[in-house]
């Protein structure tokens, strides 16, 4: 066999049917690297999915446990020993286990019984007598009167407090914030202003229990279709949790820059819904 024939034979062995061994190793290595990356990516996705499932559950359990332990630590010691089931369980089992939630149950039962007592004639007399005593104390009467008025306003069946989420321009024009209607402005504040004002509570993020009380003209706010719970989640999360827009396609395509045209309709509709509830 001549040298030319040998060269042609070597060239044929490196053709498409017989690829270069170095190129094959490189392609195999690249394929393994891609598989490793995809496997790592799947593990990362699984880990994040696990966090999304377990983190809210863990936070809920931790808060519930803290609340139960807090109430139990203050209520259970007040229970007389002969009425405390922990005492009988200790005598029967030989060791104390402590019933979790016992103090919370006792507190709920006690509050319910107090409410039932106030519905009667003697209960109303007792409450009136207690209030008269508290109203004679300089500092206590202010705290008691303010807290009672707030609770009566929020908890009464037909209350409009925190039943509607709105958008208001704050802290300046062009910047919008989520707020909650607490009622119509009355008294001296309303009498001093020509516009029809609405009491607005503007919460802070991420702690919605603090915020600002604003008296806003009703034409300067936009009523939101999202529920109060969804709006609170949006405020607490700093906008990370954003509820979907459930309005019709026609309304979604029409920006609203004010609510002067629809405010009275929406207010009457919201009042009708509250009456139905």
Rg (CA), the chain: 34
| SS3 state at 212 | strand
Of residues 263 and 192, more confidence is placed in 192
Domain ranges of the chain: 165-243+257-264
Q: Helices 21-75 and 102-118 meet at what angle, rounded to 10?
A: 50
The per-residue pLDDT for 187 is 92
Residue with tokens 């519930």: 64
What would the pLDDT profile of 86-138 be if each residue is shown by its tens digit? 777 777 777 777 788 888 999 999 989 888 888 778 888 888 888 888 888 88
Task: Answer yes or no: are the C-beta atoms of 161 and 154 closer than 8 Å.
Answer: yes
Residue with tokens 């007592």: 117
What would the pLDDT profile of 142-189 be if each residue is shown by its tens digit? 888 888 877 776 666 555 677 889 999 998 888 999 999 988 899 999
Alpha-carbon gap, residue 256 to 185, rounded angstroms:
24
Task: Answer yes or no: are the C-beta atoms of 242 and 226 closer than 8 Å.
Answer: no
The β-bridge partners of 197 are 217
Q: How confident is the model at residue 9 (pLDDT cuts 50, 70, 90)?
A: very low
Q: How confident is the model at residue 14 (pLDDT cuts 50, 70, 90)?
A: very low
Give me the phi and psi of 127, to 5 degrees please.
-65, -45
pTM: 0.56
Cis peptide before 215 (omega within 30 of 0): no
Task: Answer yes or no: are the C-beta atoms of 258 and 222 closer than 8 Å.
Answer: yes
């Amino acid at each position: 066999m001549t040298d030319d024939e040998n060269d042609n034979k070597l060239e044929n062995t490196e053709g498409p049917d017989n690829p270069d061994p170095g190129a094959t190793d490189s392609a195999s290595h690249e394929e393994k690297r891609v598989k490793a990356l995809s496997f790592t990516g799947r593990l990362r996705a699984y880990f994040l999915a696990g966090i999304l499932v377990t983190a809210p559950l863990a936070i809920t359990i931790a808060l519930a446990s803290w609340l139960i332990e807090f109430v139990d630590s203050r209520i259970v010691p007040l229970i007389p020993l002969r009425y405390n089931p922990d005492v009988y369980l200790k005598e029967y089992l030989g060791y104390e286990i402590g019933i979790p939630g016992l103090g919370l149950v006792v507190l709920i039962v006690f509050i319910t019984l107090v409410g039932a007592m106030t519905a009667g004639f003697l209960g109303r007399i007792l409450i009136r007598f207690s209030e008269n005593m508290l109203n004679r104390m300089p500092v206590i009467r202010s705290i008691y009167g303010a807290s009672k008025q707030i609770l009566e306003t929020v908890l009464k069946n037909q209350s409009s407090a925190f039943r509607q989420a709105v958008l208001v321009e704050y802290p300046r024009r062009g910047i919008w914030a989520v707020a909650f209607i607490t009622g119509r402005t009355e008294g001296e504040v309303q009498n001093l202003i020509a516009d029809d004002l609405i009491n607005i509570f503007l919460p802070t993020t991420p702690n919605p229990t603090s915020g600002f009380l604003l008296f806003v003209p009703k034409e300067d706010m936009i009523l939101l279709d999202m529920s109060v719970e969804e709006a609170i989640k949006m405020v607490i999360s700093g906008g990370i949790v954003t509820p979907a827009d459930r309005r019709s396609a026609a309304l979604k395509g029409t920006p609203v820059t004010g609510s002067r045209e629809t405010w009275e309709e929406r207010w009457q509709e919201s009042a009708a819904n509250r009456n139905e509830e």
